[in-house]
Amino acid sequence: MENPQQQPAIDDYARERVPDDVSSSGFHLALIIIGGTIGFAVFLVAAQIGGSLGYVRAGFAFALGSLVLGAMGATTSYVGAKTRFSTYLLTEFAFGRDGAKIANLAIALSLIGWYGVISNFLGQAAQQVLLESFGFNVSPYITVLVASTLMITITAMGFTGIDKLALVLVPFMVLFILYAAFISLNREGSGGAFDVENSFTFQTAVSAVIGSYIAGVVIQPDYSRFAVNTRQAIWSVFIALGVIFPLVQFFSAIPSMATGEPNLLTVMVTLGVAVPAFFLLLLGAWSSNVLCLYSSGLSIATVAKKIHLVHIIVSIGIIGTAIALVPAQTYLINFLVLLGVTIPPIGAIYIVEAMFVRRFSMNIGDLQNEGAVNYSAFMAWGLAALAGYLSESGIFGIVNISSIDSLIVSTLVYVVLNWARANDVRYPTRGKQL
């Protein structure tokens, strides 16, 4: 018979509070987050912003967008470290036992979709490098299958595997980005702005920066729940997102701005360092995708409670790989954009629930006494998604940054709808300790 005392450790505490004696330093958490920010999406967005705005204005856009992410990430990280619950358990407290399944499924679908998109781009990049540098035409499917196997293997090891991966990969990725920027500035190129499909204004650039990692901010409790204390949880995320992330974006944009070419891989091929550039993209895809797999696995684990986390991760990895191998992944982009507007409010709602309504008086046993669906959470979520859509469409906006508008609306609506419950001394969980 399986030892029940070992069950939470086997499943990486997917359905339990992380014990106080199981923790990781703020330095390790920062490396995990930095690793998750270095990847295709950042390279593409940073290059297009740089090409549209130039060095100075792009730098300010990177800094402002990252500052917002850092402040938001520090808040979700604080909640995760304080409660030591995953994002999906926090969502269950806010949306109800059954209601949370819908919210968690939305997060999982977004992460699985991104896994497929990132893997597909990696396969295409490998084909381009091998063909242009060595004359070998290798099918992108082979790269996707091999890379996915490595990603699934590391993720199946849980938080420990992700922690070790970040320690190894992140220093190399950061050094190569700096090297690429250095050699680009010392080579002749056309420089200046270049044509991009959608030229960025300063405002849309800030929105794009926020959108590039907003889902990561929402799922931050998955990692900060392992923090030694709340102080380290806060500073690790703020430094990673508010300080390091804008630098990563700026230096990632330099090769494109210096040469006038928006595709980083093409720039590196031109400069004669295609193979190192491909390894940077490979490592970036690896570090990003393990986070997608791990967090989507934790999400599904709150629904499929009888299935071990490692089996869930392997299954999700297979699905994500299948998405990367078929043309259907092309049609996921619009769906992922939609989820990008709807996911941020989930974070705002569970933050308000934990900090304002329950005041961190939360216990796993309380979930059995909760209602199946918290309709006020869904009302706040729906209105926030609508606000985000209107802002994205340019119809109406508060600050005209869709993700921020949806966050503002979800926070205000949920606070108003739960004001009485937050101040009710008879509230059933008030007074219980974590």
pLDDT tens, per residue, the chain with 434 residues = 334 333 444 577 777 788 888 778 888 888 888 888 887 777 777 888 887 888 888 899 999 989 989 998 999 999 999 999 988 889 989 998 888 888 888 888 888 888 888 888 888 878 877 777 777 788 888 888 988 888 888 888 776 777 677 777 778 788 888 887 887 777 655 455 444 455 677 877 887 788 778 888 888 998 899 898 999 999 999 999 999 999 999 988 888 777 776 666 677 777 777 777 777 777 788 888 888 888 888 888 877 777 888 888 899 989 988 888 876 656 655 665 666 678 889 999 999 999 988 888 888 777 776 778 899 999 999 999 999 888 878 888 888 777 788 889 999 999 999 987 777 644 554 444 44
Cα 60 from Cα 69, distance rounded (Å): 14
**The whole model's pTM is what?**
0.83
Q: What is the CA radius of gyration of the chain?
A: 21
Quote the CA–CA distance of 97 and 367 in Å, as a whole number: 7
Ramachandran angles phi, psi of 227, nearest 5° = -65, 150
- Whole-angstrom Cα distance, residue 170 to residue 35? 5
Backbone φ and ψ of 377, nearest 5°: -65, -40
- CA 79 to CA 92: how far, in whole Å? 14
3-state secondary structure of 163: helix
403 contacts 341 by C-beta, under 8 angstroms: yes
Q: Which helix (H) or strand (E) holds 160?
A: helix 159-185
Domain boundaries, the chain: 21-333
Q: Of 1.10.1740.10, 1.10.4160.10, 3.30.1490.20, 1.20.1260.10, which CATH number belongs to 21-333?
A: 1.10.4160.10
What's the rounded Cα separation, in Å, for the pair 376 and 349? 10
Inter-residue contact 50 to 199 (CB < 8 Å): no
Cα(145)–Cα(147) distance, integer angstroms: 6
Place of tokens 């989507």: 296
